[in-house]
Amino acid sequence: GDIIRIRDCVLLKANEDNELPYVAKVAHLWQNPEDGEMMMSLLWYYRPEHTDQGRQRNDCPDEVYASRHRDHNSVACVEDKCYVLTFSEYCRYRRRLRAAEEDVEDVSIVPRRPSSATAPGFPVRTVPEHTNPELVMFCRRAYEFRTRRLLKLPHKNGLVCSSS
């Protein structure tokens, strides 16, 4: 099985069998002193389907929204580890995936930063090579769960998603 660490993203079982799993980032892990069960504090991501607005025409299939919604759950609810990237990281990931599928060398004009050069405050987030693409998502917007509003993009020119 996967090892789950603080700051990892996970999929959690939904209430209904046909519902998409929930997405969250692990903020803290602890053992419940009452029953010894392993627990985790979570920061929830919302899928467009889990908001009052529902999925809109301009929502991408792999898009989730960040939120300040905190909660705690048993680690037994984890279905799988997943990866939530920034939009830029996601675009680079999809480019590498497409290059591998087409057996094309992944060439970049920007030199790759060696892993040893990672600054402590700025980790390089990468997706392991043979990860199921369905476990990779991106986040470029936030959802205010109390007011049930989708917060505007930080960029003036909205990014449009292509399904290809």
Burial 113-141 (b: 16+ CB within 10 A, else e): eeeeeeeeeeeeeebeeeeeeebbbbbbb
Identify which of 109, 90, 107 has the alpha carbon closest to the alpha carbon of residue 99.
107
- Residue 139 within a domain: yes
- Residue 158 within a domain: no
Residues contacting 29, CB < 8 A, separation 6+: 4, 5, 6, 38, 39, 40, 41, 75
- Residue 163 within a domain: no
Mean pLDDT, range 4-32, rounded to an integer = 94
How many domains, in total, are found in the chain? 1
- Please report which confidence band the pLDDT of residue 83 belongs to, taking 50, 70 and 90 as the band edges: very high
The DSSP bridge partners found for residue 39 are 30, 74
Cα gap 28→7, rounded to integer Å = 8
- Residue 89 within a domain: yes
* Choice between 9 and 18, residue whose per-residue pLDDT is larger: 9
pTM of the full structure: 0.81
- Residue 4 within a domain: no
Residue 162 has pLDDT above 90, yes or no: no
Structure tokens at 126: 């990468």
Residue 157 has pLDDT above 60, yes or no: no
Q: What would the pLDDT profile of 108-137 be if each residue is shown by its tens digit?
A: 666 666 654 555 555 557 899 889 999 999
Structure tokens at 14: 């939904």
- Residue 118 within a domain: no
CATH classification of the domain holding 135:
2.30.30.490
Identify the domain containing residue 63 by its residue range: 9-105+124-150
Q: What would the pLDDT profile of 25-51 be if each residue is shown by its tens digit?
A: 999 999 999 999 999 999 999 999 989
CB 42 within 8 Å of CB 7: no
- Please report which confidence band the pLDDT of residue 151 belongs to, taking 50, 70 and 90 as the band edges: confident
- Residue 159 within a domain: no
Residue identified by tokens 């399904």 is 163
Mean residue pLDDT of the chain comes to 85
- Residue 37 within a domain: yes
User: What's CA 17's distance to the chain center, in Å?
Assistant: 21
